[in-house]
């Protein structure tokens, strides 16, 4: 396992024990970076406008289109570390 993957796995674990709950914009960024890091580009169908939470998540992930998984992992790690 690479050092980046190990650090990412640790950040994922640490994300569940942050000292305080991040605001919604930060939570969306955490979600989007995680999805980009683990699944790559968003291939999911866009949720309907009545699914506001699903739509917000989809939009946040879509904004990261073409970001490499390694870049997403590093940004995820940096973001979680900044919130600890």
- Integer Cα distance of 18 and 22 in angstroms: 8
Q: What is the CATH number of the domain that holds 24?
A: 1.20.80.10
Q: 0.95 exceeded by the pTM? A: no
CA 67 vs CA 3, 17, 22, 40, 83: distances in Å = 19, 27, 23, 8, 22
Q: Give the pLDDT score at 84.
A: 87
Q: Give residue 24's domain range.
A: 3-83
Number of structural domains found in the chain: 1
Residues of the chain with pLDDT under 50: none
């Amino acid at each position: 396992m690479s050092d980046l993957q190990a650090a990412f796995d640790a950040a994922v674990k640490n994300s569940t024990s942050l000292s305080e709950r991040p605001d919604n914009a930060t939570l969306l960024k955490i979600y989007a970076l995680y999805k980009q890091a683990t699944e790559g580009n968003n291939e999911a169908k866009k949720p309907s406008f009545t699914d506001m939470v699903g739509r917000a998540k989809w939009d946040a992930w879509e904004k990261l289109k073409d970001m490499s998984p390694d870049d997403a992992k590093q940004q995820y790690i940096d973001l979680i570390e900044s919130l600890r």
